[in-house]
Amino acid sequence: MAQVTFRIFVPKPIHSKEDGALFWRLFLHHFPKHVPKRLGNAVNPSADFDADNMDGVLKKWNRRDMSFHGKHLSLLGQVIRSRPSRPRRYTEIFVYAFEDDPESVKSFLYEASAVFGADYATAHILTREQWKRKLKQNVERAWFRSPRFAAKLEQDLQRRIDEWPTRRALGPELAAIGARRGVIKELNWLNIFGPPYVELFGRERLLATPAHEVRELAYGGIGVELTEGLADTAEAWENFTAVRSRAKEHLENNAFYDPSSAA
């Protein structure tokens, strides 16, 4: 089993009870060992999750932000929807600190992406090395604001590294996609590119990505698995990053957002 983080970005609000029933049917089918214990809003998921009373569960589905938790935080998930006033409507499904068979994660992401018409979906294991790199970048940026603030930040972030992999250290950190702005920041182990990104990169270019597996999806998307196993992101990090670099070079690196080069 591996601690998996995954995200699905859908370019529309999925808030009807029919949408909720479909999501929970898929989730419980692919992850029968991870029936949520609590659900509700992002601040206070106070309601019990009862799979035998889906009418009660679906009453919580149409909240703008909904979260669900497993026993002892073995499952942490959120469904985030854009405000009605925003010109670009979206729904983002985000699950992290989640232990399950990578094959179940793959099958869920492929099916859910097709059912909801995802623009992008991704799965990854957030490793200690990635976390350290993320924190180092935060400290480096902070030095431009205030050396004193950066020093305090560095102490706090070091504590987070020492706490790894507690929930506080992990946080909702897999900033691999800023899809709310249409931006992909990084390639992860599994990447499902929906029709807009297929058009951006080009179908033939995506299909020729140097990766372990590339598959065309019936709804018009393309799935790219960088290496043979999801665990490679934790157990064979150097090899994984080499494969990722080749894939990004093939797809053209300037297609990915780099905050250090932003104007």
Cα distance between residue 224 and residue 217, in whole Å = 11
Structure confidence at residue 242 (pLDDT): 92
Q: Taking the CB of residue 149, how many other CB atoms lie within 10 A of it?
A: 12
Cα distance between residue 64 and residue 55, in whole Å = 18
Domains of the chain, residue spans? 2-126+174-261, 129-167
- pTM check: above 0.85: no
- Residues with Cβ within 8 Å of residue 19, at least 6 apart in sequence: 61, 116
Q: Which residue has the higher pLDDT, 93 or 172?
A: 93
User: How large is the average pLDDT for residues 22-46?
Assistant: 85
Residue (of 213, 186, 182, 210) closest to 195 by Cα position: 182
Structure confidence at residue 218 (pLDDT): 94
Cα distance between residue 125 and residue 109, in whole Å = 15
Residue 262 confidence (pLDDT) above 70: no
Residue 217 confidence (pLDDT) above 90: yes
Structure confidence at residue 175 (pLDDT): 38
**Residue 178 binned pLDDT confidence (cut-offs 50, 70, 90):** very low
Residue (of 194, 196, 201) closest to 216 by Cα position: 194
**By mean pLDDT, which of 40-49, 94-103, 192-201, 235-244 is the weakest?**
94-103
Residue 224 confidence (pLDDT) above 70: yes
Distance of CA 68 to the CA centre of its chain: 15
The residue with tokens 């999925």 is: 14
